[in-house]
Amino acid sequence: MSQSKTIRVSILDKDYQVSCEESEVTALQQSAQFLDQKMREMKQNSNVFGLDRLAVMTALNLTNDLLAQSEKATQMDSKQTEVSSRLADQQTVIQHLHNKVDTALTRLKAKT
């Protein structure tokens, strides 16, 4: 089991201490940097005032992006399943044709 570690992250020039597993430190730091960037963008590009409102609006935007990407992934998975099914059907047809050719060649050889 990995040990818990407390790290300090900075979001909008405010420091937060967060505990996480040692194996998650890098991911947590990257997440904090990403959130800081998104909150700064929201602050610069909108009329949202107050840290709480800014955090909520940023969270809504990030959630919307996450759900859109999740929907795209679901659609791609569905398309992959469809393509795999078509491929399996084509392989069945090819095997059937291969068997027909083998049968025809066997008959030809038997006649000669």
DSSP 7: E
Task: Give me the tens of pLDDT residue by residue for the chain, a chain 112 residues long.
Answer: 568 999 999 999 999 999 999 999 999 999 999 999 999 999 999 988 899 999 999 999 999 999 999 999 999 999 999 999 999 999 999 999 999 999 999 988 888 7
Q: At what angle do helices 25-45 and 51-111 cross, to 10 degrees?
A: 120
Domain count, the chain: 1
Those residues whose C-beta lies under 8 Å from the C-beta of residue 2, and which sit 6 or more positions away, are: 21, 22, 23
User: pTM of the prediction?
Assistant: 0.70
Calpha distance 59→108 (Å, rounded): 73
Sign for the pseudo-dihedral over CA of 68, 70, 75, 76:
positive
Whether 25 contacts 19, CB under 8 Å: no
Query: What residue spans of 4-50 are helical by DSSP H?
Result: 25-45
The reported pLDDT for the residue numbered 111 is 82
Structural domain for 25, as ranges: 4-111
- Residue 3: strand, helix, or coil: coil
> At 68, which CATH number?
3.30.160.880
